[in-house]
Structure 1
Amino acid sequence: MNQKNDIQSPPFLSRVNLHANLNLLHRKREEKRGRPSKTYEDSSVSTKKRKNKDLLDTCGLDFILNSYTQGLRARGEREEALIVEVLRTLPPEKKSEIRNTLLSEPAHLTAYTKNEALGIFIDLNQSKAQYENMRSYLITKNCLLFPSYKSIREAKRMCYPPDSSIEITNIKAKIKLQDLLDHTSARLIKIDDVYKQGLNHLNLYSKWGCDGSSGQSEYKQPLPEEMRFCRPILIEFSKETPEKTTLVVNDINAQILALNPSLINHNGEGIEIKHTLFLTMIDGKVAQVLSETSSSAVCTICGAKPTEMNNLEKVRNKPVDEVSYQYGLSTLHCWIRFMEPILHLSYNLGFEKWSATTTENKDLKKHKKAYVQRNFREELGLNIDKPKQVDEELLKRFYVILQVMSCGRGIDATKFGQYAFDTAQLYVNKYKWFYMPSSVHKVLIHGESVIRHFSVLPLGQLSEDAQES
């Protein structure tokens, strides 16, 4: 029996093993049925979306995000993990802002040209050492924005006319007007906003003038933008006298008469620039000398005397010297000249006369002047004040007239003349006893004619403020 069982056991074991092998073969055949499965990376876009959705439906968004940040930290990407966590808590508008910043085109830094760098050098009032230090700091950050100091020195040199046109002695420095205008024209043509292609015949309008200068202080002296376009013709150490003023003006006028058009070669194109100069950068003192007026209190246009100023019908009908229109109205100084009668009106209101001749009137004026000046200092911290006793309507009209004259825009001469004359009538009706100053008279009575004389340019652009600066 035992021998028989021992003989029959191997076939039984063989049948069991064969069944297991058949099941294994069946499973392998089943696995090989259909298209073989691909990895996630090798799957198509649609397949990836399907698998992503299956994972999202099965595990949820929080599980996936937490797994992602955990995986980042496991790989040592702690900064990225932190960014992901922070982004999750931001409001939608902040996320949009970050997205736009990340997806925007990177800014391309454009280096300054030597002329642009020179402008910055001047605006910042830098020294050579300051400029080179600033440039060195930027270079350490691989930021080559500024050219070398040698380059801006060359650019600065190009701003000067040729040395041959400059005459320098112990007492003066002088430049030939023709060379100065030629060089100025050539520089202006290089400005893109100034020159338009195809314009070969141009006219350059310039204003000029002269004045004495002494005891100047640099304290709080601003440098207006238009000073960049103001160039000296003559600087001389000499006493300002009527004879000297006349001599200088005659010399420059002679050069103006001899001027030739400037011929400029710009990008291979020939350009002709004619020159027109206006003698308007002067004050009342220079205008008095040039018009040969006997006194600063007398009008340089019609010759009206102080006692005639308030007779409006008479001064309107007086013959005028139209040559004097060329000197303009000195719009900068008008602000001062219009303030002076307001102050003196205030001082003299106690006795209502043009001048204080008696001892009593002089004392009244003295006390009133001290009162005005004291309130001025206490209320505004200045040395003058706005006298409240003077008619408010007159003050407003003076302000409007001065603003219009200084605005630098075209002025309707007819409307200005009517407004100015109405203001003159208001002045006379209110203060007939105080003679209108010649500067105020010139604006209110002759302003319309002067504006018409300079019809090619606005009156405000012919002011003398560049000369004063």
Structure 2
Amino acid sequence: MQMQNLPNLEEKLNFLQKKLLSFEGYSDNQIKSLKQHFSRFKSIFRKNNNSWLEGTFDIPVVAQNRSGRPHKTFSECTERTKRKKTDEIRSFVVKEVIVHAAQVELNKSGQRDAAAILKDITTTSPTRVTKYKRALSESRSVKPASLTPLQALAMFIEADLTRRQYEVVRNTNKDFYPCYSLIQKAKRECYPPQEECRVSSTGAESNLQSLVDLTMKSLSIVLEEVLLTLKKHERDSLKLICKWGCDGSQQTQYKQKFENDANSDANIFQSCFVPLRLVCGENGAKIVWENPTPSSPRYCRPITEEEINYIGTSANSLKATKVFFNGKEFKVNYVFIMTMVDGKVCNAATGTKSTSRCYICGATSKDFNQFNFNKDINLKATEFGLSVLHARIRLFESVIHLTYKLPVKKYRERKSEEEKELEKERKLEIQARFRKEKGLLINMPKANFGNTNDGNTSRRFFEDPTLASEITGISYELIYRLKVILETISSGHLIDEKKFDKYAQDTARLYVKLYPWHPMTPTMHKILVHGAVIIKNAFLPIGQLSEEAAEARNKHFRNYRQNFARKFSRENYNRDVFNRLLLSSDPLLSSMRIVKKRKFNSFLPETIDLLLPAMPNVKDSDIKNFLDKDI
């Protein structure tokens, strides 16, 4: 109403009334009532205030007779003038009162940070204000520091840059990014000595002793502050527990000629190890460091492309690594556990020739659905762990292949043409429904290698047991129990083997009761029947012994072959791939990467019941025997 600049009060009140009536949503009765009330308001207002509304008053004007500068506000005055104007206040008011009043006024005006700083520098240590002043001066004068060669190398590896790409980035700020020659020098410090590496046209390998020495020295730089706090007997009893394994994978063939025509690059076989835990003390009970991502390829160090026995012999003959900090010596021994393996490697290592035979107890498919057979268990074979990633995939495939055979309910018996056709139609139906309702590709070949039954497919299958049961026709309870078991063994936490054994045995009996005509697969038999024994014999949580890191390395191997290796020479090509694998798994470089916090789904109630809430009471002799035992 004020902004309209209307000439008199009557027009202003009329404008206000029209404005109130212009809003939408009023009923006729509300409009009528509003007019009546507003009319009454106008009459009462004018009656009670008529005397001063109609009257006049004079505003005295002070004549400006003196000459000189115009009056200034306090903020416009000079420092000298401000001191004069505040002299009286400073003379009669205590300093604490002035400071407190300033804090209150700053808070009232919304300057909360300024009020907090004023309180901090006036109520704490007398040197606090000096620190504030120094920090402010340094922030204004110091230029942004440039990256060190090691920091630039960590960024180089994390971003998967080539030399050309790094040069393009560096051209944007040459003062901040070091030249590539310094990065090359930092790279060489991450490689074992050249004389300890062997590279040929068909493979690359590093001496295991040199590689573990390099790994431990790199890790010790990260842990320097922690290591310096150890006592003398702890420094002499350090042990690095590592898991290792080997795996083969299909690869793309390149147009490069071998000296021997019998050689091929269609498949590769590589061995690697992952440091899991650094312990110390007389019985190894004190944990100095634990791998934050035991299933990630970040710490997965390439060893060689040789057979299992070669690596096992090298690991057993390793010598202690000596590291020096501040005149103190640290001696580190090694324990290697072969758990990064799949079913094929386990069968080869134990001499099991049939894929349908259990390499732990020797049972065959005809015995898997029976619980009264007596078979001797090979405790040595339980050290291979549960191969958690492959276990998830194999259990998923077990359910899928079982649902294909539901219409005929036959396993390996002779089937008629009609039964084969029913089984084929059932398979196509299941594939179509999963594609439509979940977006999953089931049992479909992938270009160049493998099929679509991978870890991500199995995870999405088990995340919704209700829908999986509806599509497949398999018991919801069975799928849900398998989900609980997979979640438990992949959790990375300690497991109550007694509760797990009972839960697994009940699941096995449920399977046999529902589907007696279809025997369990070897993987399902291993988990449900021998899972508790394997978990009991594993000192570390079984989820930390997963082979996931080695499997992820196959993807990196393909990427490094294609984008980071020289193709004009087989030897240089293998050297480039091997060096890139070393850089991407270096503990020091891996510790420098920025890890985003991930949101994890909570465990199922049944899973929580199978996990141990804390470290169980383990005898010192058991820990010592585990750390001292051979592979």
Q: Which has the higher helix share?
A: 1
1:308 is paired with a residue whose SS is: coil
Query: Match of 1:155?
Result: 186
1:466 aligns with 2:536: no
1:120 aligns with 2:155: yes
Q: Could you tell me how far apart the structure 1 residues matched to 2:173 and 2:187 are?
A: 22
Q: TM-score, normalised by structure 2?
A: 0.54
Q: Could you tell me how far apart the structure 2 residues matched to 1:113 and 1:192 are?
A: 20
Query: Match of 2:375?
Result: 318
2:249 is paired with a residue whose SS is: coil
1:18-57 maps to which residues of 2 (within 5 A)?
40-41=81-82, 43=84, 45-47=86-88
Q: Could you tell me how far apart the structure 2 residues matched to 1:167 and 1:449 are?
A: 40
Change in Cα spacing, 1:49 to 1:186, as seen in structure 2 (3 Å) is closer
For the Cα contact (< 8 Å) 1:306–1:436, is it kept in 2? yes
1:172 aligns with 2:229: no
2:150 is paired with a residue whose SS is: helix
Change in Cα spacing, 1:216 to 1:328, as seen in structure 2 (3 Å) is farther
Query: Match of 1:343?
Result: 400
Q: 1:202 is matched by which residue type in structure 2?
A: L
- Give RMSD over aligned pairs: 3.2
Identity within the alignment, %: 35
2:88 is paired with a residue whose SS is: helix
Larger radius of gyration: 1
Change in Cα spacing, 1:96 to 1:138, as seen in structure 2 (3 Å) is farther
Q: TM-score, normalised by structure 1?
A: 0.71
1:70-81 maps to which residues of 2 (within 5 A)?
none
Q: Could you tell me how far apart the structure 2 residues matched to 1:113 and 1:420 are?
A: 53
1:233 is paired with a residue whose SS is: strand
Deviations, residues 431-451 of structure 1 (Å, cap 9, x unaligned): 111100011100111111111
Query: Match of 2:309?
Result: 250
The structural deviation recorded for 1:94 is 5.5
The structural deviation recorded for 1:321 is 0.9
Q: Could you tell me how far apart the structure 2 residues matched to 1:344 and 1:419 are?
A: 24
1:203 aligns with 2:239: yes
Q: Could you tell me how far apart the structure 2 residues matched to 1:346 and 1:443 are?
A: 20
Query: Match of 2:596?
Result: none
For the Cα contact (< 8 Å) 2:295–2:549, is it kept in 1? no
Q: 1:336 is matched by which residue type in structure 2?
A: I
Change in Cα spacing, 1:101 to 1:155, as seen in structure 2 (3 Å) is farther
Q: Could you tell me how far apart the structure 2 residues matched to 1:409 and 1:158 are?
A: 36
For the Cα contact (< 8 Å) 1:410–1:459, is it kept in 2? yes
The structural deviation recorded for 1:257 is 2.3
For the Cα contact (< 8 Å) 1:203–1:273, is it kept in 2? yes
Q: Could you tell me how far apart the structure 1 residues matched to 2:295 and 2:385 are?
A: 22
Please, which runs of 5 or more residues in structure 1 have no aligned partner? Answer: 1-38, 51-90, 218-222, 237-247
Change in Cα spacing, 1:49 to 1:182, as seen in structure 2 (3 Å) is closer
1:331 aligns with 2:388: yes
The structural deviation recorded for 1:124 is 1.7
1:304 aligns with 2:382: no
The structural deviation recorded for 1:151 is 3.0
Query: Match of 1:21?
Result: none
Deviations, residues 315-356 of structure 1 (Å, cap 9, x unaligned): xx4211111112111111011110111112211112222236
Partner residue of 1:394 out of 468, 478, 490 = 478
Query: Match of 2:19?
Result: none
The structural deviation recorded for 1:297 is 0.8
2:205 is paired with a residue whose SS is: strand
2:440 is paired with a residue whose SS is: coil
Change in Cα spacing, 1:216 to 1:416, as seen in structure 2 (3 Å) is farther
Please identify, of 149-158 and 403-412, the stretch whose mean Cα deviation from structure 2 is larger. Answer: 149-158
Query: Match of 2:257?
Result: none
Q: Could you tell me how far apart the structure 1 residues matched to 2:332 and 2:209 are?
A: 12
Change in Cα spacing, 1:228 to 1:194, as seen in structure 2 (3 Å) is farther
1:190 is paired with a residue whose SS is: helix
Deviations, residues 258-303 of structure 1 (Å, cap 9, x unaligned): 2111122234321111111011111101111111113111111011
Query: Match of 2:450?
Result: none
1:294 aligns with 2:353: yes
The structural deviation recorded for 1:387 is 5.0
The structural deviation recorded for 1:115 is 2.6
Partner residue of 1:278 out of 337, 346, 351 = 337
Query: Match of 1:371?
Result: 429
For the Cα contact (< 8 Å) 1:261–1:273, is it kept in 2? yes
The structural deviation recorded for 1:101 is 10
Query: Match of 1:191?
Result: 222
2:214 is paired with a residue whose SS is: helix
Change in Cα spacing, 1:415 to 1:111, as seen in structure 2 (3 Å) is farther
Q: Could you tell me how far apart the structure 2 residues matched to 1:202 and 1:117 are?
A: 32
Change in Cα spacing, 1:168 to 1:129, as seen in structure 2 (3 Å) is closer
Q: Could you tell me how far apart the structure 1 residues matched to 2:330 and 2:211 are?
A: 17
Q: Could you tell me how far apart the structure 1 residues matched to 2:403 and 2:529 are?
A: 23
1:423 aligns with 2:464: no
Partner residue of 1:354 out of 405, 408, 411 = 411
Q: Could you tell me how far apart the structure 2 residues matched to 1:175 and 1:162 are?
A: 9
Change in Cα spacing, 1:123 to 1:98, as seen in structure 2 (3 Å) is farther
For the Cα contact (< 8 Å) 2:243–2:338, is it kept in 1? yes
Query: Match of 1:57?
Result: none
For the Cα contact (< 8 Å) 1:280–1:462, is it kept in 2? yes
Q: Could you tell me how far apart the structure 1 residues matched to 2:419 and 2:109 are?
A: 75
Please, which runs of 5 or more residues in structure 2 have no aligned partner? Answer: 1-79, 92-106, 122-131, 254-292, 443-460, 462-467, 553-631
1:159 is paired with a residue whose SS is: coil
Equivalent pairs, count: 371
Q: Could you tell me how far apart the structure 1 residues matched to 2:188 and 2:407 are?
A: 62
For the Cα contact (< 8 Å) 1:188–1:194, is it kept in 2? no
Change in Cα spacing, 1:145 to 1:92, as seen in structure 2 (3 Å) is farther
